[in-house]
């Protein structure tokens, strides 16, 4: 991870040692140089599931550094592991060198993954009004007002834009939104619809403006430009998250 830390610390971890435990607070992540680790998830019902095995080149523990949440899984060494410690400050430095949209995108993808795991997402880190910039690829210029009752997207309809709420409230309802009930609600600073834009999956929920709302409309080109401008490690992580959500059968639920 070039330039991620001025003086990176290398560690050798023995087999069977636990790197981190689900639910703990986080202050560092690890870049794996050699060895294998297993990722274990304890569901809300108490069932332990193995999510997978990772090895050389993987980064573990970074999600909680990006969204300032709890560890989403337990990581245990299967073999002796050589790794580089990466601090919270290093990750925040990478985010500062990225377009403002990068932080929204990464935190939103991580929130979707947490929900996909059956875990509660964390609140967004940062000021919701810090989105605009004087740099061209960072600026979103399509700010629109939507009346109460406006439908942003519906089931089985291709979604070509995501929305960042500046003011107002947007709700997600099951199906075509005619049966009542809310699955989720979003307020200022929330980004919604980006999972469908980035994965190409069709929604099976309806997004409706609960009150008059002002949103930035963000198309796929803006997301692609943001990905291209991210430092390599963040770009790789974003692509991994997107691919994980693309494979998920619960992507529409996860995107809430």
pTM reported for the whole predicted model: 0.78
pLDDT, tens digit, 9 for 90 and up, residues 140-149? 568 899 999 9
At residue 180, does pLDDT exceed 90? no
State the burial class of residue 184 (Cβ atoms within 10 Å of its Cβ: 0-12, 13-18, 19+). Answer: middle
CA atoms within 13 A on the CB side of 177: 19
Three-class SS state of 214: strand
Model confidence at 123, in pLDDT bands (50, 70, 90)? low
At residue 93, does pLDDT exceed 60? yes
Q: What is the mean pLDDT of residues 143-163?
A: 93
From residue 113, alpha-carbon distances to 174, 190, 195, 244 in Å are 20, 16, 10, 8
Percent of the chain with pLDDT over 90: 39
CA distance 185 to 19: 35
Higher pLDDT, 19 or 8: 19
Q: What is the mean pLDDT of residues 34-51?
A: 93
Q: What is the mean pLDDT of residues 168-194?
A: 85
State the burial class of residue 85 (Cβ atoms within 10 Å of its Cβ: 0-12, 13-18, 19+). Answer: middle
pLDDT, tens digit, 9 for 90 and up, residues 94-120? 988 988 888 888 988 888 888 888 887
At residue 209, does pLDDT exceed 90? yes
DSSP 128: T
Higher pLDDT, 126 or 168: 168
Please give the pLDDT value at position 84: 93
């Amino acid at each position: 991870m070039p330039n991620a830390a001025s003086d990176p610390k290398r560690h050798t971890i023995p087999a069977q040692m636990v790197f981190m435990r689900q639910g703990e607070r986080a202050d560092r992540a690890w870049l794996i140089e050699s060895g294998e680790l297993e990722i274990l998830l304890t569901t809300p019902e108490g069932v332990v599931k193995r999510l997978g095995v990772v090895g050389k080149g993987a980064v573990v523990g970074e999600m909680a550094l990006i969204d300032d949440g709890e560890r989403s899984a337990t990581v245990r060494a299967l073999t002796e592991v050589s790794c580089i410690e990466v601090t919270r400050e290093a990750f925040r430095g990478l985010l500062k060198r990225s377009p403002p949209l990068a932080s929204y995108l990464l935190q939103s993808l991580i929130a979707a993954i947490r929900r996909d795991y059956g875990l509660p997402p964390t609140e967004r880190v940062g000021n919701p009004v810090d989105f605009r910039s004087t740099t061209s690829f960072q600026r979103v210029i399509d700010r629109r007002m939507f009346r109460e009752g406006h439908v942003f997207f519906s089931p089985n309809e291709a979604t070509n834009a995501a929305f960042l709420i500046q003011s107002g409230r947007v709700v997600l309802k099951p199906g075509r939104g005619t049966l009542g009930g809310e699955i989720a609600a979003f307020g200022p600073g929330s980004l919604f619809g980006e999972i469908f834009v980035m994965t190409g999956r069709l929604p099976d929920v309806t997004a409706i403006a609960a009150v008059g709302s002002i949103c930035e409309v963000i198309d796929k080109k803006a997301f692609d430009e943001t990905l291209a401008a991210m430092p390599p490690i963040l770009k790789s992580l974003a692509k991994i998250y997107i691919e994980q959500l693309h494979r998920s059968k619960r992507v529409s639920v996860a995107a809430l």
